[in-house]
Amino acid sequence: MSLSTPPPINHFTERLTLHYDPGLKRNRFNQVANAIAAFFAALAVVPLFLVLIYVLIQGGRLISLQLLTDLPPAPGLEGGGIGNAIIGTIVVTLIASLIAIPVGVGGGVYLSEYAQNGWFSKFVRFGNDVLAGVPSIISGVFVYSLIVATRVFFDQSFSAMAGGIALSVLMLPTVIKTTYEGLLLVPQEMRMGAYGVGASRFVTITQITLPAAFTPIATGVVLGIARAAGETAPLIFTALFSPFWPEGLFHPIATMSVLIFNFAIMPYEAQNELAWAASFVLVIMILGANLLARWISHASRS
Amino acid sequence: MTASSPSTVASDVCMSLQDVTISYGSFEAVKNVYMDLPKGKVTAFIGPSGCGKSTVLRALNRMNDLIPGCSLKGRVIFDQHDLYDKRVDPVEVRRRIGMVFQKPNPFPKSIYENIAFGARINGYKGDMDELVERSLRKAAVWDECKDKLKESGFSLSGGQQQRLCIARAIATEPEVILMDEPCSALDPISTLKIEETMHELKRSYTIMIVTHNMQQAVRVADMTAFFNAEAVEGGTGKVGYLVEFNETENIFNSPNQQSTLDYVSGRFG
């Protein structure tokens, strides 16, 4: 074969220059498609930044120590703060976590480690997916009729406990799903290794499998908490609201989301400002939780 | 290859398989295995893929229990007990019959904890530092590990991880160590080191090893079992069976069966 012989020319083997030609049809088309996709991607994050900037401007300027530690003022008066609502949100979220984390992690462990993929575990997983899609207000109404209306807790109706339970219903699917999926990612060899040195199933799960899946589980839990902390609808029926400091777990309690709901529509300037300030604090808290979740998953990967 | 009467096996026999048939669901993976595995020796299981040698190995410490649908007929006698008796606790079986897997699988813990874990859950009360050092030394990985015992087991190379897994198995003081293709994921130098480790280990333990590497069987094993698979009429796939079980020298130099000769001399397929 001699090198000087050119290949036979037909329309397939016609040789173009190797340099990029922006005028070529496929290249022009590519650039247009690229621009359209980039535009929609930008459009998708615009609401996030608008909300953040708006809340930052409206609420951020109001932040002071007094605002974080004082009670809200009576209607018509000036000043005051959202101290009780901050504590309330923390208390209610804590109750929700204390219920949802053990139940959710336990459920996830069952689905991944114990269940034989029979009808029961399929049913639980399907039910869990459905629960994740249940509107939050439904969970509020459910807890209202189950706990608030029946006054099961010491004859109290609205209470922090009821609010926490309503939020735990919302957290549960996230925690179960992330636990289950986190455990599925743990390689089977790891379990085999533990069984191979004579570990029982319980020891294998608690000392090998769960720690190995800590990152996805912790991430899921934090995201679940962040979701629950921002919910309003289920709390309106359950925790209600209180202009005072929390009196106990079985009394109505103020939360930031309900405070925003109540105060934003009041015809008083002071209350409206507090609603903005609470929005700011809530957004920062949830943003912080999301960053924490990212940090957890990064920290253990490196 | 003689089947002795139940529970009375010769004293130099470590494990005795008596008419063992292992099935996945309704599919029989390996059929009618009779074998007396000698104490204090290295026994290699060789044979083509799908002949059931790994399945048989995993049956020896009830690892197959973890595979859904896997069942065993027949008897596996160890220490005068049938391991598949209903009263036998598989966790206890695995404490006395340790296992090293195909892929190095250290726990996501420090090197020290990888060793200490098994000992601790087995109720070891002695000096843990000493046990960790002794196990790592026996597995010939102490020199590479001694300065980084607190680091993750994953910080080691593949070959070192595998020797860490061997050390982990030794730390629980088993009587038997099962090795399922322990070198298949390793380079030749690491493989050689593991084989040296095995020569050390057979002084104190009975070892059974599955290997695809026939030179490895020749190098490390005293006894060799050759498994093969053949299609059965009406069956859904190939069924494994034990062709021949004898001293390694005989298997490789003067096997009794034609199929063994074909396999060990590379004339197969």
Per-residue pLDDT band at B8 (split at 50, 70, 90):
low
Q: Write the CATH number of the domain with boundaries B13-264.
A: 3.40.50.300
B117 neighbourhood in chain A, CB within 8 Å: 194, 197, 199, 207-208
Q: Max Cα separation, chain B?
A: 59
Q: Distance between CA A40 and CA B106 in Å, rounded?
A: 46
Domain limits of chain A?
82-301
CA distances from A70 to A79, A87, A273, A277, B8 (A): 9, 11, 14, 13, 83
Please tell me the distance from the alpha carbon of residue A116 to that of residue A133, in angstroms, as a whole number: 26
In the predicted structure, residue A290 carries a pLDDT above the cut 70:
yes
Comparing B89 with A160, which gets the higher pLDDT? B89
Q: State the nearest Cα–Cα gap between B172 and chain A, in angstroms.
A: 7
Average pLDDT over residues B232-251: 80
Q: Do A196 and B100 touch (CB under 8 A)?
A: yes
- Which DSSP string corresponds to A76-94? T------HHHHHHHHHHHH
Closest-CA residue of chain B to A192? B63
**Which residue(s) pair with B134 in the sheet?**
none
**Mean pLDDT to the nearest integer, B37-66:** 86
CATH fold for the domain made of A82-301:
MetI-like fold (1.10.3720)
Of A27-31, A109-113, B220-224, B231-235, give the lowest mean pLDDT range: B231-235
* Number of cross-chain residue pairs from A and B with Cβ atoms under 8 Å apart: 72
* Of residues B220, B217, B102, the one with CA closest to residue B158: B102
Cα–Cα dist A93/A168, whole Å = 8
Given this model, what pLDDT does residue A3 score?
A: 59
- B39: how many CB neighbours lie within 10 A of its CB? 15
Of the candidates B192, B137, B213, B201, the one whose C-alpha atom is nearest the C-alpha of residue B174 is B201
Chain A CB within 8 Å of residue B103 CB: yes
Lowest average pLDDT, out of A67-71, A179-183, B152-156, B219-223, goes to A67-71
A294 vs A271: CA distance, rounded Å: 34
Bridge-based pairing state of the strands B97-100 and B13-24: unpaired
Residue B1 banded pLDDT, cuts 50, 70, 90: very low
Task: Report the C-alpha gap between B59 and B36 in whole angstroms.
Answer: 14
- Burial per residue of A120-132, b for 16 or more beta-carbon CB atoms within 10 angstroms, e otherwise: ebeebbeebeebe
The pair of three-digit structure tokens given for residue B209, joined into one six-digit string: 């090893």
Say if the Cβ atoms of B101 and A192 lie within 8 Å: yes
| Chain A positions in Cβ-Cβ contact with residue B100 (cut-off 8 Å) | 196
pLDDT at B113: 87
Nearest CA in chain A to B108: A212
In chain A, the percentage of residues whose pLDDT exceeds 70 is 92
Interchain contact B34–A (C-beta under 8 A): no
Check pLDDT > 50 for residue B84.
yes
For chain A, what is the mean pLDDT? 82
Measured distance CA(A27)–CA(A21) in Å, rounded = 7
Per 3-state DSSP, chain B is made up of helix, strand and coil in percentages (nearest 5) of 35, 30, 35
What pLDDT does A164 receive?
85
Interface test with A, best of B121, B122, B168, B176 (most A CBs within 10 A): B121
Nearest CA-CA partner of A224 in A182, A278, A186, A263? A182
Q: What is the average pLDDT across B161-171?
A: 87
Question: Could you identify the residue written with the tokens 């114990």?
Answer: A114
Q: Does residue B5 have a pLDDT over 60?
A: no
Q: What is the mean pLDDT of residues B15-38?
A: 86
Q: How far apart are CA B108 and CA A194, in angstroms?
A: 11
pLDDT band at residue A190 under the 50/70/90 scheme: confident
More confident residue, A93 or A247: A93
Q: What is the pTM of this model?
A: 0.75
CA atoms within 13 A on the CB side of B51: 21
CA angle A281, A286, A289 (to 5 degrees): 125
Q: What is the C-alpha separation between B151 and B95, in angstroms, rounded?
A: 26
The span from the CA of B179 to the CA of B163, in Å, is 12
Distance CA A200, CA A204 (A): 6
List Cα–Cα distances, A293 to A216, A217, B157, in angstroms. Answer: 9, 10, 31
Which token pair is A251? 């009394």
Mean pLDDT of chain B: 83
Across B180-199, average pLDDT: 83
Say whether pLDDT at B3 is over 50: no
Of the pLDDT bands very low, low, confident and very high (cuts 50, 70, 90), residue B2 is very low
Query: Do the bridges between strand B42-46 and strand B206-210 make them parallel or antiparallel, or are there none, so unpaired?
Result: parallel
A193/B98 touch (CB, cutoff 8 Å), yes or no: no
Instruction: Tell me how close the Cα of B108 comes to any Cα of chain A, in angstroms.
Output: 6
> What is the enclosing helix (H) or strand (E) of A130?
helix A119-133
> Residue range A88-114: average pLDDT?
88
